[in-house]
Each structure stands twice: as structure tokens, then as C-alpha cells.
A and B are shown apart, each in its own frame.
Chain A
């Protein structure tokens, strides 16, 4: 019997067209209901979800690969994406200070501690800020369970942020402020190149070459991050939106958010009163989840069974989810808001975040098997 080329592909065309149409319909619906900017931001989020899941571009996994096996390709792809974003974003923000803002935050004791804990927790569930959204959207049960607790942690961390800042926080330092717009960009690119060179130097033989998909992913993520900046006026972020979802729920249940300095601040109170469909990070977060779902469904990957993990792994997922949310608020962002957007817009806190979170990741990689995630019996 002769096989008909494409015969096994044809039946999948209709569902795939339906998926693509569903994505477009979501964007159009939000644009019609809330405004063009918000529809565009949802489209950017969908793009992030499709790029991250479709091209397997992540943060926690590549750090784990470098720590355990000295494979630097994923880490270098992150540095390239950040560098490409910085090359456009930093001059753009410097030229348009009234319209565009960077992810600039202060370095502090709680900021560094928060980044360390975030790095540790993201290795336990193998999902960072964007990774947890992608994992949840693609039907990963660990990611889906971690996500609501990530949101609760983010809300609680924001609630207490004022107290943590009081432990000791330096003034905001930016590369642009230190060296001027072009000098700051040059310093940022040089620092990224230095980290990349170190990663190549430490690489296991034959592992430093980037596969084509990572080049494409780095370009796509950088392009989408720049679109996020141009459309919304602010860099790509994740954590704020998650905390806002819980803040809105708490407010609906009668909680008095004015007791928190963070949630009582006018900008945040305004966000709680307005719809999530007008909140920048909520829209891109929803888009990332939906984009990852589209890719998983497109690849017909939703029929995979949920892994049989021991109870302690599920408990660890809940605790790690809470820690991811809480710690990322103290750290002024996660791998996206602090590491990616902080560094690519010249904030020193992005570099402090990177160093502390990487140390936390080394601890998290060691801890993960003990929590029952890797199928090995440990005492």
C-alpha cells in the first residue's frame, strides 16, 4: 500500500485553523472592548507564549543545564536576546523619557535575598515567571498548580514590600545615569559579552554552539519585548499582573487594601479599580498562557499523561509557587521584570538579581531531587 504524502496531516488542518482563528478573535475582541492598545498587548503576549513554548526558549531550564552539565547555549541565547533589546530600548528610552520608562529599581538587602529565593524556587518547579505561565498554558500540572500560589505570593509580597525596603535599600543606579545613554549601552553590552564569554569558557566540549531555533527565539523575544515597550511605554513584566489578579479578588471579597502602602498607592489602587483588560502585564500574561496553549494544542501535545509525583513534590510545588511570587516582589521583578527588562533598560538591580538568582538556582538544582521531582528515592 502506498502512503499518501500529507494524508496524516490533513485531518489536523481544520483544528489548527480553528486555533489560529481563536487567537485572532481574542485579540480583536479585546481591542473592540477595551481599545487598540490593549488588543495589541494581548497579541504581544500571544507572541511571547508561541515563541517561548514553540521554540523552547526558557530561563530556568538553561540555567539548570549550565549548572549541571555546563551546557551554555540557552543561557547565551538569553544574553543575546537581552543585548538585542538593550541596543534599541536604551537609546529609545533616553530619547523619549516622557513616554517610555525603563525597569529601574534599587538594589537592596531584601532585593538580593528575594532574587536568591526566586532562583532557588524556580529550579524546584522548573518554571520562572514566564516559564510558569508557559508551563501552565501547555497543560503542565506542576506549572498550573504553582501559578495560583505564585499570584497569591506576589500579592502578599507587594503588601509587605514597604517593610522589606526599609531593611536597607540603595538609590536607583542605571548604566545610562553613570555613563550617559550610549556609554551606558556600551557598558551593558560589554557586561553581557563578558558573561557570555565566561559561559563559553566554562562550557563542556561541543556544547557552546547555539542551534538555529535559539537564534530565532532570541530575535523573536527581543522583538516582542521592544513591541511591548513601544506599545505600553514600559518594559516586559510578569509579576505585577499576577499580584493584581489576587488584589482584585481580595477587594471583591471585601478586603481593605488601603492598609497596605503598596496597594493603597494611587497607581495601584487605580489598577485594582480598572479592568484587567486594561492592565499591561495582565494582558501579556494572559497572552503567554494562551500562546503556549495554542502551541501545545497545535502539536497535539495535550494528550500526554500527568506525571505521577509523590505527595511531597506537590506540597513543594505549592510552597515554591508562594515563594516565587513573594520573593519576586521583594526583588523588584522576576527573570522577566528584573533580569531581562532590568538589564536591557540599564538598571543595576537587573545585574544584582542575576547574580543572586543564579546562586539560588545552584541551591535549587541540588534541592529538587530531594523533593521527589526526579523519580529518585531520597531520604
Chain B
């Protein structure tokens, strides 16, 4: 068994995860997406980060 087999398994798992995600999440809409850059957008950062405590 080579690294190629590992990569194939990983890719299959990744594609499966994304397929389930797209099927079970709110539909994507690029027209309601935030501006390309947060800097200069006038909007607060809305993402989640590992340094954030619960409730932050």
C-alpha cells in the first residue's frame, strides 16, 4: 500500500463530507455573500475562531 491509496481514501471522505454538507445546509448564495475583503467592508468579523470562548 502506498501514499496514493491514503490520498484516495482521504479524497473520498472529503467529497462525501462536502456532499452531505451541501445537502444538509442552508443553500449557498454568492449574491448574499459578504464583501471579498473584511478589511474596508465596514462589517464586523462574523466567522468563528478557536480562540473564542463559548458565547462570544
Evaluate contact between A33 and B30: CB separation under 8 angstroms: yes
- Please tell me which one of the listed residues B21, B30, B37, B53 contacts residue A332 in the complex, with CB atoms under 8 A apart: B53
The residue on B at minimum CB distance from A301 is B3
- Can you name 11 A-B pairs with beta carbons within 8 Å? A36-B36, A37-B33, A101-B45, A162-B54, A265-B55, A267-B52, A281-B47, A306-B6, A333-B51, A338-B51, A342-B51
Within 8 A of A (CB), among B29-48: 30, 32-48
Whether A188 sits at the interface, judged by CB under 8 Å, is no
Contact size range, A = 35 or more
Q: How many A-B residue pairs have CB under 8 A?
A: 204
Q: Mark A233-276, 1 if CB is under 8 A from B, else 0.
A: 11101111000110011011000000001100101100101111
B interface residues, Cβ below 8 angstroms from A:
1-7, 9-11, 13-14, 17-18, 20-22, 24-26, 28, 30, 32-56
Whether A58 sits at the interface, judged by CB under 8 Å, is no
- Please tell me which one of the listed residues B11, B21, B44, B51 contacts residue A237 in the complex, with CB atoms under 8 A apart: B51
Whether A126 sits at the interface, judged by CB under 8 Å, is no
A161 to B47, CA, bound (A): 19
Chain A CB within 10 Å — which of B21, B28, B37, B48 has the most?
A: B48
Q: Known contacts A34-B33, A35-B33, A342-B51; is A100 also within 8 Å of B7 by CB? A: no
A38 to B35, CA, bound (A): 10
Contacts of A139 in B (CB 8 A): 2-4, 6-7, 10
B33 to chain A, nearest CB (A): 2
Contacts of A279 in B (CB 8 A): 47-48
A265 to B35, CA, bound (A): 25
Contacts of B9 in A (CB 8 A): 144
Q: Mark A8-47, 1 if CB is under 8 A from B, else 0.
A: 0000000000000000000000011111111010000000
A276 to B25, CA, bound (A): 8
Within 8 A of B (CB), among A285-309: 286, 289, 293, 296-297, 301-306
A149 to chain B, nearest CB (A): 13
B50 to chain A, nearest CB (A): 4
The residue on B at minimum CB distance from A261 is B54
Contacts of A245 in B (CB 8 A): 17
B32 to chain A, nearest CB (A): 8
- Please tell me which one of the listed residues A92, A101, A147, A303 contacts residue B3 in the complex, with CB atoms under 8 A apart: A303
Chain A CB within 10 Å — which of B13, B18, B53 has the most?
A: B53
Contacts of B39 in A (CB 8 A): 92, 96, 99-100, 229-231, 233
